[in-house]
């Protein structure tokens, strides 16, 4: 069987490029194809990345520089509809994602991988029912790339897995519609990220301000994709209402971004003969905050280890690659399922509930919720129940037994 490369990765985002770095470190011959004209651009992201993931990238050959690390923040303010906020400390960066991905591509290249931009993969080559390579268009030229293993890291669109025959379709119920302005000249507290909640503010999601420097920030929103109004509508309305505080109307818009965020509908099966799916393409996104970069990198690490093992055994069958599914579900899958349940509860909250929780919750509670700590969430729900019995139904995934009791 023809084989030009050990692995062809489709998609040069954080997942695909981190896979390339890890797999090249293990001696695999890796090719990354990306349809975009420029690696890292356009950005479809709020660019928040926790300190651990930033350190991991530095440990894997990215220069320790603000050029891509961007702007350091020390915590997050979460605002209820009435303006009351809870501060959650925690270090992270608002990265310069275009620079970050370019540096990742360079780090991968230094380890022996190759990255090709503007290569639009439009077809998956199959031989004897197994994925055997891909066909891409490069400036009018059709090119074929054969490899015993293909990694689909093509983001939210998840076209490659679908072409290969894996069902990665996600119902709109599990999709958030994202929209964002990069604004300069606003007034802000640039030491923290700021998140604004409320049923009128952002149905099912939140509005964010992620500072990129003293007076520049990503100002964005994610909402339920099924909402009749657009994400842009909600963000524009909110910005108008909060113009006095931030000075949006006087600020410059230096970039406009959009994107789909897969906030649930996790794939139990992310492999088939000769194929591994990682990152947004596999819906590996935190269902509550919608972040996916760190999870994609984590999945990429596991996938690279499984890929190296497959090469040792010269076996790229689904049965061998299944180790990736198993390990992902052990490491993150269950936790994400719990945060998905929390998303369901979150979707049922009224503005009044949000205001109530802003008084009740501590920063530790919020971190526990974000981790999908079921016991802690249950304890919070039971505590809240005493004052607000109507929350019983809203938290039914966590306190099912208590709810059954209440309903007789």
143 touches other proteins (CB under 8 A): no
Which residues, in sequence order, are CB contacts of 151 under 8 Å at separation 6+?
A: 7, 8, 9, 10, 16, 19, 275, 276, 277, 278, 303, 307
Q: Return the number of the residue (16 or 372) whose C-beta is nearest other proteins.
A: 16
> What is the footprint of other proteins within residues 74-103 (CB under 8 A)?
none
Pair 26, 111: CB distance under 8 Å: no
- Residues near other proteins (CB under 8 A), total: 31
Q: Return the number of the residue (138 or 344) whose C-beta is nearest other proteins.
A: 138
Segment near other proteins (CB under 8 A); pick from 98-106, 108-116, 128-136, 158-166? 158-166
225 touches other proteins (CB under 8 A): yes
**Cα–Cα–Cα angle for 244, 248, 252, rounded to 5 degrees:** 150
Segment near other proteins (CB under 8 A); pick from 252-260, 331-339, 353-361, 378-386? 252-260
Segment near other proteins (CB under 8 A); pick from 15-23, 162-170, 386-394, 399-407? 162-170
> What is the footprint of other proteins within residues 4-43 (CB under 8 A)?
35, 42
Pair 95, 69: CB distance under 8 Å: yes
Q: In angstroms, what is the minimal distance from the CB of 375 to other proteins?
A: 34
Q: In angstroms, what is the minimal distance from the CB of 41 to other proteins?
A: 11
305 touches other proteins (CB under 8 A): no
Q: Which of 156, 311, 354, 398 binds other proteins (CB under 8 A)?
A: 156
Q: Which of 184, 230, 320, 350 binds other proteins (CB under 8 A)?
A: 230
CB-count exposure of residue 26 (10 Å: 0-12, 13-18, 19+) = middle
CB-count exposure of residue 89 (10 Å: 0-12, 13-18, 19+) = exposed
Q: In angstroms, what is the minimal distance from the CB of 12 to other proteins?
A: 15
Angle between helices 363-371 and 334-347 (to 10 degrees): 120
Q: Which of 66, 227, 305, 363 binds other proteins (CB under 8 A)?
A: 227
Q: Return the number of the residue (261 or 377) whose C-beta is nearest other proteins.
A: 261
401 touches other proteins (CB under 8 A): no
Q: Which of 26, 29, 242, 257 binds other proteins (CB under 8 A)?
A: 257
Six token digits for residue 253: 């818009």
Q: Return the number of the residue (36 or 60) whose C-beta is nearest other proteins.
A: 36
Q: Which of 11, 13, 259, 274 binds other proteins (CB under 8 A)?
A: 259
Six token digits for residue 123: 């077809």
- Determine phi and psi for 179, rounding to 5 degrees: -150, 145
Six token digits for residue 193: 């990220």
> What is the footprint of other proteins within residues 320-349 (CB under 8 A)?
none
> What is the footprint of other proteins within residues 40-69 (CB under 8 A)?
42, 44
164 touches other proteins (CB under 8 A): no
Collapsed DSSP state (helix, strand, coil) of residue 139:
coil
- For residue 195, the cross-strand partners are 78, 208
CA distance 154 to 193: 28
* Half-sphere exposure at residue 133, Cβ-oriented, CA atoms within 13 angstroms: 14
Rg (CA), the chain: 22
Pair 156, 262: CB distance under 8 Å: yes
Q: In angstroms, what is the minimal distance from the CB of 314 to other proteins?
A: 33
Q: Which of 155, 198, 211, 264 binds other proteins (CB under 8 A)?
A: 155
> What is the footprint of other proteins within residues 101-130 (CB under 8 A)?
120
Burial 230-263 (b: 16+ CB within 10 A, else e): ebeebbeebbeeeeeebebeebeeeeebebbbbb
Give strand ranges (E) for 185-215.
193-196, 206-211
Pair 88, 2: CB distance under 8 Å: no
284 touches other proteins (CB under 8 A): no
Q: Which of 57, 99, 130, 177 binds other proteins (CB under 8 A)?
A: 177
Task: Point out which residues bind other proteins (CB under 8 A).
Answer: 35, 42, 44, 120, 137, 155-159, 162, 169-170, 172, 175, 177-179, 225-228, 230-232, 256-260, 262
């Amino acid at each position: 069987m023809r084989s030009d490369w050990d692995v062809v990765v489709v998609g040069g985002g954080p997942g695909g490029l981190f896979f390339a770095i890890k797999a090249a470190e293990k001696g695999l011959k890796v090719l990354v194809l990306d349809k975009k004209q420029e690696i890292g651009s356009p950005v479809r992201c709020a660019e928040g990345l926790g300190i651990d993931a930033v350190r991991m990238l530095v440990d894997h050959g990215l220069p320790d520089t603000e050029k891509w690390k961007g702007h350091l923040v020390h915590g997050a303010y979460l605002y209820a509809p009435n303006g009351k906020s809870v501060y959650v400390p925690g270090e992270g960066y608002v990265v310069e994602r275009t620079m970050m991905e370019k540096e990742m591509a360079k780090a991968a290249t230094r380890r022996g991988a190759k990255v090709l931009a503007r290569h639009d993969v439009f077809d998956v080559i199959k031989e004897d029912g197994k994925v055997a390579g891909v066909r891409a268009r490069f400036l009018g030229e059709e090119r074929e790339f054969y490899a015993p293993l293909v990694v689909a890291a093509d983001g939210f669109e998840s076209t490659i897995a679908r072409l290969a025959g894996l069902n990665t379709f996600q119902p709109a119920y599990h999709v958030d519609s994202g929209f964002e302005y990069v604004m300069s000249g606003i007034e802000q507290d640039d030491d923290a990220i700021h998140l604004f909640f409320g049923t009128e503010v952002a149905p099912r999601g939140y509005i964010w301000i992620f500072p990129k420097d003293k007076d520049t920030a990503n100002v964005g929103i994610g909402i339920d994709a099924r909402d009749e109004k657009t994400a842009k509508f909600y963000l524009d309305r909110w910005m108008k209402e909060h113009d006095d505080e931030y000075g949006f109307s006087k600020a410059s818009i230096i970039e406009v971004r959009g994107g789909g965020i897969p906030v649930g509908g996790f794939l139990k099966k992310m492999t088939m003969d000769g194929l591994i799916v990682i990152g947004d393409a596999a819906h590996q996104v935190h269902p509550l905050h919608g972040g996916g970069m760190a999870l994609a990198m984590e999945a990429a690490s596991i996938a690279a280890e499984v890929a190296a093992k497959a090469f040792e055994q010269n076996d790229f069958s689904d049965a061998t690659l299944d180790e990736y599914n198993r390990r992902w579900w052990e490491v993150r899958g269950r936790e994400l399922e719990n945060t998905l349940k929390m998303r369901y509860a979150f979707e049922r909250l009224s503005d009044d509930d949000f205001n109530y929780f802003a008084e009740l919750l501590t920063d530790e509670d919020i971190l526990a919720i974000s981790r999908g700590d079921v016991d802690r969430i249950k304890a919070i729900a039971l505590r809240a129940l005493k004052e607000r019995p109507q929350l019983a139904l809203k938290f039914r995934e966590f306190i099912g037994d208590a709810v059954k009791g209440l309903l007789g």
